[in-house]
Chains A and B, each alone.
Chain A
Amino acid sequence: MNSSSPVLIESPNADSTARSKSYFAFRLIEFILGGVFIYAGAIKAWDPIGFANDIDNYKILPWVIGVRLAFYLPWLEILCGLALITHRFYVGGLAILTALVSIFMVATIAAKIRGLDITCGCFGHASKNLNFSWHLALDLVLLATLLVVYVRAASGNGLSLKKNPYDQKT
Chain B
Amino acid sequence: MNSRVVRQALVLVALAFVPAIGQAIYFRDKVSWQSPIPASESVTVVQARAWGANAVWLDARPDEEFARDHVPGALSLNEDHWNELLPQFLATWSPEKKVVVYCSSQSCNASREVARKLRSEAQLKDVFVLQGGWEEWLKSKK
**Which residues of A pack against B, CB within 8 Å?**
4, 45, 48-50, 52-54, 56-57, 59, 63-64, 67-68, 71-72, 75-76, 78-80, 83, 89-93, 95-96, 116-119, 125, 128, 154, 161
The distance in angstroms between the C-alpha atoms of A93 and B63, with both chains bound, is 42
If A76-B16, A118-B108 touch, whether A53 touches B8 (CB-CB below 8 Å) is: no
The answer to whether B27 touches A80 (Cβ under 8 A) is: no
The distance in angstroms between the C-alpha atoms of A4 and B2, with both chains bound, is 13
Please, which residues of chain A bring their CB within 8 A of the CB of B5?
91-92, 95
Indicate whether B90 reaches chain A with its CB closer than 8 angstroms: no
The distance in angstroms between the C-alpha atoms of A90 and B11, with both chains bound, is 11
Sample (30) of A-B pairs whose CB atoms are under 8 Å apart? A4-B4, A45-B19, A48-B27, A52-B36, A54-B109, A56-B36, A57-B109, A59-B107, A63-B34, A63-B35, A64-B34, A67-B31, A68-B24, A71-B20, A71-B24, A71-B27, A72-B17, A75-B16, A76-B13, A83-B8, A89-B9, A89-B12, A91-B5, A92-B9, A92-B11, A93-B8, A93-B9, A118-B108, A154-B2, A161-B4
The answer to whether A91 touches B24 (Cβ under 8 A) is: no
Indicate whether B112 reaches chain A with its CB closer than 8 angstroms: yes
**Which residues of B pack against A, CB within 8 Å?**
2, 4-13, 15-20, 23-24, 27, 30-36, 79, 103-105, 107-109, 112-113, 116
The total of interchain contacts (Cβ-Cβ below 8 angstroms) comes to 100
Please, which residues of chain B bring their CB within 8 A of the CB of A57?
107-109
User: Beyond A59-B107, A79-B15, A125-B79: 13 further Cβ-contacts under 8 Å?
Assistant: A48-B23, A48-B31, A53-B112, A57-B109, A63-B34, A64-B33, A75-B18, A75-B20, A78-B16, A91-B2, A91-B4, A95-B5, A96-B9
The answer to whether B20 touches A72 (Cβ under 8 A) is: yes
Please, which residues of chain A bring their CB within 8 A of the CB of B20?
71-72, 75-76
The distance in angstroms between the C-alpha atoms of A52 and B5, with both chains bound, is 29
The distance in angstroms between the C-alpha atoms of A148 and B33, with both chains bound, is 39
The distance in angstroms between the C-alpha atoms of A169 and B20, with both chains bound, is 40
The answer to whether A50 touches B24 (Cβ under 8 A) is: no
The distance in angstroms between the C-alpha atoms of A140 and B116, with both chains bound, is 33
The answer to whether B8 touches A91 (Cβ under 8 A) is: yes
Please, which residues of chain A bring their CB within 8 A of the CB of B18?
75
Please, which residues of chain A bring their CB within 8 A of the CB of B36?
52-53, 56, 63
If A48-B27, A64-B34 touch, whether A117 touches B108 (CB-CB below 8 Å) is: yes
Task: Determine how close the nearest CB of chain A comes to the CB of B135; give it in whole angstroms.
Answer: 9
